[in-house]
Amino acid sequence: MTEQPLTSEQLRFLAAAAGAAPSLHNSQPWRFRSVPDSLGVRVYADLDRAVPITDPDGRALHISVGAALFNLRVAALRLGRDPEVRLLPDEAEPRLVATVRLARPSPVPLPLGRDLFDAIGQRHSSRQPFANRDVPEAVLGELITAALDEGAVLSPLEEAGVRRVLALTHDAERRTGTDLARMAETRTWLRPEKPAADGIPVSALGPQDHDARVPMRSFTSRTQPTTASQRFEALPQLATLTTHDDRPADWLRAGQAMERVWLLATAHGVRVSVLHQAVEWPDTRWGLREPGEGPGHVQLVLRLGYGPPGPATPRRPVEEILDLTGRAGAAERGTS
């Protein structure tokens, strides 16, 4: 059975869900376009929204677009459609990172195990201190399985691993803080006063750790603290997300895995923040690998725990990220 062409309203629904994804500095580097027969969506990287000094290879950009792609898949299932994804379908068009065919009804049972749609709107970065409370093994197990299903390895770290990753993140954070070009670039994504549709509002930033154990990213600079420091959890629950290779397709898989883990964690009441600093320098990134864990490229460090949900951050309006001009006129007339 083939589904009807997507209506403009359905395309807006899909793009809005995709656009709610997390992205480096809330740069939202994505665009969406209907396929000509309106039975799918093309997902593009918006290179004008790159963060080139911090992310010279576009790795974090692809992770962000991968997260948006995962949200699109979740929203498609909510519409009753089975998303068939092709990553990087056209070598001649590098900005086209995926096509998602939505021509078939969604299978039963749901391929993701549960409906994650409501978690899309509830998920935020939580940069506040977490409680000294363990994330249950059973929940960590579900998160590990979710990442594996997306082709990535989530490794919750034991104490020695946490201390190693914290030390590397401190080192990277210190380096970043003294790199004037990087700090200037980061500041261009901070939104100190006026509300904006992208970037990070100052209200979404958290405190620094009073005991200097958890190196939260300083988006301003060491000399300009935005809020008083607070005591963070004694031993944070950190997890690395690793892929076998380190090419654009792997970054897209990592982004989908990150978002699946993050939405599932949200559904379980577990908060997440990203500690990305050590991944941004080649040597500290290399040190993030678990000794003895075989080959692999760490794409993300996630901090998991229980605390405030974090505030909602702004998103660009759907009209800015969705291009409806590719739609076949017949499909539009027949269905809208």
Ligand X SMILES: Cc1cc2nc3c(=O)[nH]c(=O)nc-3n(C[C@H](O)[C@H](O)[C@H](O)COP(=O)(O)O)c2cc1C
* 85/120 with CB nearer ligand X: 120
Kindly identify the residues of this chain, within the stretch 300-319, that bind ligand X according to CB under 6 A: 310, 313
284 part of the interface to ligand X, by CB under 6 A: no
* 6/288 with CB nearer ligand X: 288
User: How far is Cα 20 from Cα 16, in angstroms, rounded to an integer?
Assistant: 6
* 139/301 with CB nearer ligand X: 301
Question: Phi/psi at 33 (nearest 5 deg)?
Answer: -145, 140
200 part of the interface to ligand X, by CB under 6 A: yes
The minimum distance between CB 101 and ligand X, in angstroms, equals 26
Selected range binding ligand X among 17-25, 86-94, 151-159, 287-295, rule: CB under 6 A: 17-25
Assigned token pair, 28: 């939202």
* 280/290 with CB nearer ligand X: 280
Angstrom CA distances, 252 to 174, 279, 323, stand at 29, 16, 21
Kindly identify the residues of this chain, within the stretch 48-87, that bind ligand X according to CB under 6 A: 60, 63-64, 67
What is the enclosing helix (H) or strand (E) of 169? Answer: helix 159-177
Which residue shows structure tokens 């988006």?
A: 219
The minimum distance between CB 122 and ligand X, in angstroms, equals 11
The minimum distance between CB 46 and ligand X, in angstroms, equals 14
Assigned token pair, 76: 């498609």
- Residue 96 pairs in a beta bridge with 44
Selected range binding ligand X among 135-143, 238-246, 271-279, 327-335, rule: CB under 6 A: 271-279
Kindly identify the residues of this chain, within the stretch 120-149, that bind ligand X according to CB under 6 A: 124-125, 127
Number of Cβ atoms within 10 Å of the Cβ of 180: 9
CB 117, CB 75: distance < 8 Å: yes
Q: List the one residue out of 101, 112, 117 whose CA is nearest residue 16.
A: 117
Looking at 139, 277, 303, 318, which residue binds ligand X (CB under 6 A)? 277
Assigned token pair, 216: 């939260």
Residue type, 258: M
* 112/263 with CB nearer ligand X: 263
User: How far is Cα 333 from Cα 133, in angstroms, rounded to an integer?
Assistant: 55
The minimum distance between CB 27 and ligand X, in angstroms, equals 8
Selected range binding ligand X among 16-24, 152-160, 179-187, 288-296, rule: CB under 6 A: 16-24
Angle at 21 between CA 65 and CA 318, to 5 degrees: 90
What is the enclosing helix (H) or strand (E) of 75? Answer: helix 59-78
* 10/237 with CB nearer ligand X: 237
Question: Which residues are near ligand X by CB under 6 A?
Answer: 22-26, 60, 63-64, 67, 124-125, 127, 200, 217, 273-277, 310, 313
